[in-house]
Amino acid sequence: MAEILLPKQWADIKIREELGEGSYGKVYKASTRKGEKKYYAVKIISIPKTKSELNSVMADIQNNDSAKAYIQSIVDNCLTEIQTMQELSACENIVRIEDYVVEKKTDEIGSNIYIRMELLTGLNARIKNNDMTEEEVIRLGTDLCKALIACEEKKIVHRDIKPENIFYSETDGIYKLGDFGEAKIIEQSTAAFSMKGTPHYMAPEVYKNQPYDHTVDIYSLGIVMYKLLNYNRYPLMPPHPQPIKFADQTEAFDKRIAGTAFPEPMLAHSRTAAVVLKACAYDPKKRYANANELLSALQALSAYLSANNADNASIETYHDESAVFQHKKDKKDKKKKKKYRNPKSAAAGFLISVFILSVILFGTYIFLRYFQGGVYWNTVVQAVQKAWSFLYDKIVALFAKQS
């Protein structure tokens, strides 16, 4: 890569490698040249980006001075948003801007804007190297809600929440929201540049150019979470593991914008799904009223899942012991069953019991007959009949059970 020259104010900083490219600029990894290395992300925005974009503006306005004023207004708006983002940097969940420099282009109309920020890991890069568990997705939502609360306090609508604008700090272990004003202002200010971002996370009212408020950011965050909990598939796409055709994404998008209800994301607990589906409800009035409300829901959800996971962990800890205990119990049960497995042996046992009881009863009869004068004869006969009847019923029931 050819060396990219930075403003003279940053003479001690050198571009090391390209990290990514957006519709309006590139982001590079940079570091200090001397001493202890400090690393940064440097974004370079060129307005207009290419010669053809400048030609499009000139063709529409057809006046050199007016074209210059038009492009300068885009630069000014962009700088206003950068300054706003600097103010928001007090929130730890918003990407911190270290410095910025604006340089006018020497050979044509327009300016280059250099933005130096903290170096972070993009969400897409993090997903490649780490499993996004349900708990991790909830943590992402929680962190971004804190960023949105800071935005709402300043009446700022981000309007472009998507994975490309979400970052992770390896140092702090938190997620951060970035790319605030630059994309939005450029998109709003000039149709000629065609710098509109992907609509797949946009709230329907934004896409339809209808009035909207801060709940569009809650909607977009909900779509991000839904996708992460749905095998990286947008709502209304064919469910995993069905193959995806080219037309499926467009069809799913059209259904979403039309208001088709979403199924639950496939990897989410039912309570998690309920929170996510409310966040990205089609009707803005049915969404969470603000980021603080969504934050409370996610924190309660996190506590609930943590408690359940602790219970599950306890069950798993004693799983082996329980299995051994159950195995011993089963063996005892089998031994008990073996005693009564053969109906003939069971019947023989009862017959022996009958014989013994009969001998006892007969002996009682003899004793009463010859030594007591037969006074209790009728009583003895009735007792013997009842005993035989009882034993007969038991033998019949035993045979019926074994068969």
Note the pLDDT of residue 315: 43
Q: What share of the chain is helix, strand, coil (3-state, %, to 5)?
A: 55, 15, 30
Both tokens assigned to 67: 């074209």
Query: Helix (H, G, I), strand (E, B), or coil: what is residue 210?
Result: coil
pTM: 0.72
Name the residue with tokens 């996190």. Answer: 302
Q: Residue 157: name the closest of 252, 284, 70 by CA.
A: 284
Q: Residues 155, 159, 165, CA angle at the centre, nearest 5°?
A: 115
Q: Along the chain (403 residues), what's the average pLDDT of each consecutive run of 10 residues?
A: 87 93 83 91 90 85 86 87 84 94 89 94 90 94 97 89 95 92 44 49 93 95 98 96 94 97 97 98 98 98 91 49 43 48 58 70 64 56 67 66 55
- Taking only the tens place, the pLDDT of each residue in 203-243 is 999 999 999 999 999 999 999 999 999 999 999 999 999 99
> CA dist 172 to 118, 167, 190, 346, Å?
12, 12, 37, 74
SS3 per residue for 318-345: CHHHHHHHHHHHHHHHHHHHHHCCCHHH
Spell out the domain ranges in the chain: 339-402
Q: Which residues pair with 17 in a beta bridge?
A: 29
Query: Helix (H, G, I), strand (E, B), or coil: what is residue 94?
Result: strand
CA distance 332 to 346: 19
CA distance 160 to 139: 20
Q: Which residues pair with 347 in a beta bridge?
A: none
Contact criterion met (CB below 8 Å) for 350 and 398: yes
- Taking only the tens place, the pLDDT of each residue in 2-26 is 788 899 999 999 999 999 887 668 8
Note the pLDDT of residue 205: 94
- Taking only the tens place, the pLDDT of each residue in 157-191 is 888 899 999 999 999 999 999 887 543 444 444 33
Note the pLDDT of residue 176: 97
> CA dist 238 to 45, 124, 232, 392, Å?
38, 22, 11, 68
Note the pLDDT of residue 287: 98
Q: Residue 123: name the closest of 178, 85, 172 by CA.
A: 178
Contact criterion met (CB below 8 Å) for 125 and 174: no
Note the pLDDT of residue 318: 40
Q: Which residues contact 59 (CB under 8 A, 6 or more apart)?
A: none
Note the pLDDT of residue 193: 35
Q: Which residues contact 256 (CB under 8 A, 6 or more apart)?
A: 204, 234, 235, 236, 262
DSSP classification of residue 2 = P
Name the residue with tokens 């749905």. Answer: 230
Note the pLDDT of residue 28: 95
